Amino acid sequence: MNTEQALLKPITLAAGLELKNRVWMAPMTRSRADNPSNKPSEIHEKYYAQRASSGLIITEGSQVSKQAVGYINTPGIFSDVQVEGWKGVTRAVHKKGGHIFIQLWHVGRISHPDFHNGDLPLAPSAINPHEKSFTPEGFKETVTPKEMSRAEIKQTIQDFKNAGKNAMEAGFDGIEIHSSNGYLLHQFFNATSNTRRDEYGGSIENRAKILFEIIDALKEVMPEQKIGLRLNPSLNGVFGMEADEETIPTFEYIVKKLNDYDLAYLHLSEPFTDVSEIPYLVSHIAKHFRPLYKGTLVINAGFDQEKGNKVIEEGDADAVAYGTLYISNPDLVERFEQHAELASPDKDTFYTPGKKGYIDYPKLEEEKVG
Ligand SMILES: Cc1cc2nc3c(=O)[nH]c(=O)nc-3n(C[C@H](O)[C@H](O)[C@H](O)COP(=O)(O)O)c2cc1C
């Protein structure tokens, strides 16, 4: 193996989980769980097994409860049938020598009453994100959600805990809390989406509280070394998120407090849009947050092979999570090893059911033969 490249060097996570490289697969919703129980099936097994040379696969966002859903055909991790489906996936990945975490997801206000028998989606506050929700009947305007009661917050924490327990039963190497991209937990962090006056709103500490309560609950069902989480601090104008002056201080608080734990990793995204004109946002996330966090840091968004090697060499991250490149290059690691050409993904099949655009991207040697 070519060990010259920083990306291709092994890395050991907390609790001694040895990963063969630093080329990780970012979580990506692919909407292939188009069955009544939203369980992963044989094509999920094949899709993830094809990508098992990645140092760590992070699965697509998987709803922690019926309430947590916001898109059609996304898999869940709350029912026995779903756990059985995921067992096939973890077995297939492990058989190929890979490692796999599952992303635990609650979309909050980015849902729609059509998913909840007409009831409103839940969110920290009753503020419409003015986004589109992908419902069984196509895209619809989001609505003003219901402000969560304390009991609903406690239930949601339990749902994450239960999903974590299920993930362990399904054979995952760990879980990633989806506290990113404008979904429920991110909605709690941000003062523009959280105007609560109880202990879950008002101050930075209060807005971050639910995340730490979820981590503490998960620790009751798995070692903390198997818990990772994802943050997107400079998300602005996307997924209904509007940043303000308190946004970056909130993320700084969260990241520093994560040092109290011995987690698997912290997964950060560089800004999804150009935020250089916004004085209170940070344009270089890895550079800004690396000094604040002492554990393993994985960075994502917009990286190619060169930038990936560079960010690790410069000490701003320990690993890189690749999204879209992993859709069309199941053997991304081997392609990086050989400095081979990369295939481009077909956007039209990102979220369509079935095998097309999912498990039919060839590996390099198959490309050569075919
Ligand atoms: C088809 C698709 C689905 C995605 N689904 C998720 C998801 O379920 N959870 C998540 O945290 N991010 C999701 N993302 C964001 C990716 O993880 C990643 O942040 C984004 O693609 C940028 O990385 P890249 O430049 O390497 O593609 C998705 C992105 C794409 C393209």
Residues annotated catalytic, as ranges: 183
Residues 6+ apart with CB under 8 A from 3: 9
Q: What are the extents of the domains in the chain?
A: 6-326
Q: Contact at 8 Å (CB) between 51 and 347?
A: no
Q: Which residue has the CA at smallest separation from atom 29 of ligand 1?
A: 28
CA–centroid distance, 316 to ligand 1, in Å, is 21
What is the pLDDT averaged over residues 313-330? 98
Give the position of tokens 């002056």.
245
CA–centroid distance, 59 to ligand 1, in Å, is 10
Per DSSP, the three-state class of 101 is strand
CA distance 62 to 39: 10
Amino acid identity of 194? N
Percent of the chain beyond pLDDT 70?
A: 99
Residue 60 Cα: closest atom of ligand 1:
8
Q: pLDDT class for 369, splitting at 50, 70, 90?
A: low
Q: pLDDT class for 15, splitting at 50, 70, 90?
A: confident
Q: CB of 181 closer than 6 A to ligand 1?
A: yes
CA–centroid distance, 70 to ligand 1, in Å, is 16
User: In the prediction, which pLDDT does 184 show?
Assistant: 98
Q: Contact at 8 Å (CB) between 343 and 329?
A: yes
Residue 272 Cα: closest atom of ligand 1:
22
Q: pLDDT class for 3, splitting at 50, 70, 90?
A: low
Look over the chain and give the mean of its residue pLDDT values, rounded to a whole number.
97
Amino acid identity of 146? K
Q: Which residue has the CA at smallest separation from atom 16 of ligand 1?
A: 323
Give long-range contacts, CB 8 A cutoff, 24+ apart: 144-150.
144/120, 145/108, 145/109, 145/111, 145/120, 145/121, 146/119, 146/120, 146/121, 146/122, 147/123, 147/196, 148/122, 148/123, 148/124, 150/198, 150/200
pLDDT digits (tens, 9 = 90+) for 280-302: 999 999 999 999 999 999 999 99
pLDDT digits (tens, 9 = 90+) for 136-169: 899 999 999 999 999 999 999 999 999 999 999 9
Token readout for 282 is 């940070």
Q: pLDDT class for 331, splitting at 50, 70, 90?
A: very high
Q: CB of 26 closer than 6 A to ligand 1?
A: yes
Q: Which residue has the CA at smallest separation from atom 21 of ligand 1?
A: 323
Classify domain 6-326 at the CATH class level. Answer: alpha beta
* 144: DSSP letter: P
CA distance 33 to 85: 10
CA–centroid distance, 292 to ligand 1, in Å, is 24
pTM for the whole structure = 0.98
User: In the prediction, which pLDDT does 263 show?
Assistant: 98
CA distance 336 to 7: 9
Q: Which residue has the CA at smallest separation from atom 31 of ligand 1?
A: 324
Beta bridge partners of 178: 230
Residues making up the chain, counted from first to last = 370
Residues 6+ apart with CB under 8 A from 310: none
